[in-house]
């Protein structure tokens, strides 16, 4: 091997030992980008603040829809809350001539159940008095003819929503909170409570 060939071999060995090649850098950057993307996607899919806000907005809108429907259909509707769910109720008689009774409305679009892995808390305050919420199954087992279940909030056919109410939708840690309440100008108001970063 001549002297110039030996110099080239030593020089290329020194260059390899002293840094990364362009391909190695690109592979490393690609791996880091994929890992960062996975973390960002995870954060986006578990954004509790957005979830609380969306549930509060959905609940407020669906309550407004129920209030409008009560007037148009000349029917009494209501909503009953549980720790992490709610359902709408209707005042109707089972058969003609029977006394009307409150029963859950049979429409899946008018129900909300927190999905698995997501915990929400509904805190209901009716006319300044906090209400202790129970699961529907427990309530149904305690109900009787003398003490029937009724909705917490009523949407009457004359356009009234009663009584005055305040519902707080929150995550279990209480970091994100939105309030749904009866309003003076608009019938139902949805607001973010101060101190939230949602």
Please compute the mean of the pLDDT values over residues 170-192 and round it to a whole number. Answer: 86
pLDDT at 191: 92
* Cα 95 from Cα 33, distance rounded (Å): 65
On whether both 28 and 73 belong to a single domain, the answer is no
Which residues are CB-neighbours of 22 under 8 A, at least 6 positions away?
none
Residue 18 has pLDDT above 80, yes or no: no
On whether both 65 and 141 belong to a single domain, the answer is yes
pLDDT at 197: 44
Structure tokens at 150: 């009724």
On whether both 11 and 73 belong to a single domain, the answer is no
On whether both 185 and 122 belong to a single domain, the answer is yes
In a domain, 188, yes or no: yes
On whether both 58 and 135 belong to a single domain, the answer is yes
On whether both 35 and 56 belong to a single domain, the answer is no
In this structure, of 127-131, 134-138, 144-148, 176-180, the range with the lowest mean pLDDT score is 144-148
Q: Residue 118: which pLDDT band, with cuts at 50, 70 and 90?
A: low
pLDDT at 39: 65
34: domain range? 3-45
On whether both 171 and 186 belong to a single domain, the answer is yes
Please give the distance of CA 5 from its chain centroid, rounded to a whole number.
71
pLDDT at 198: 42
* Cα 8 from Cα 130, distance rounded (Å): 84
On whether both 36 and 85 belong to a single domain, the answer is no
* Cα 91 from Cα 100, distance rounded (Å): 6
Total domains present in the chain: 2
In a domain, 117, yes or no: yes
* Cα 20 from Cα 34, distance rounded (Å): 20
In a domain, 186, yes or no: yes
């Amino acid at each position: 091997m001549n002297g110039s060939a030996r110099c080239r071999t030593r020089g290329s060995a020194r260059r390899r030992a002293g840094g990364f090649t362009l391909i190695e850098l690109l592979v490393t950057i690609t791996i880091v980008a994929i890992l960062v993307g996975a973390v960002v996607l995870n954060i986006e899919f578990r954004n509790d603040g957005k979830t609380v806000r969306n549930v509060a907005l959905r609940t407020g809108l669906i309550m407004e829809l129920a209030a409008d429907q009560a007037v148009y259909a000349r029917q009494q509707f209501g909503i009953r809350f549980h720790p992490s769910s709610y359902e709408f109720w209707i005042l109707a008689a089972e058969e003609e001539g029977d006394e009307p009774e409150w029963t859950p409305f049979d429409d899946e679009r008018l129900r909300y159940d927190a999905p698995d892995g997501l915990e929400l808390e509904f805190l209901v305050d009716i006319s300044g008095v906090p209400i202790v919420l129970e699961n529907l199954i427990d309530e149904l087992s305690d109900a009787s003819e003398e003490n029937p279940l009724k909705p917490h909030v009523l949407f009457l056919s004359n356009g009234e929503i009663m009584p005055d109410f305040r519902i707080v939708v929150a995550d279990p840690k209480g970091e994100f909170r939105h309030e749904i309440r009866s309003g003076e100008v608009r019938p139902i108001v949805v607001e973010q409570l101060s101190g939230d970063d949602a």
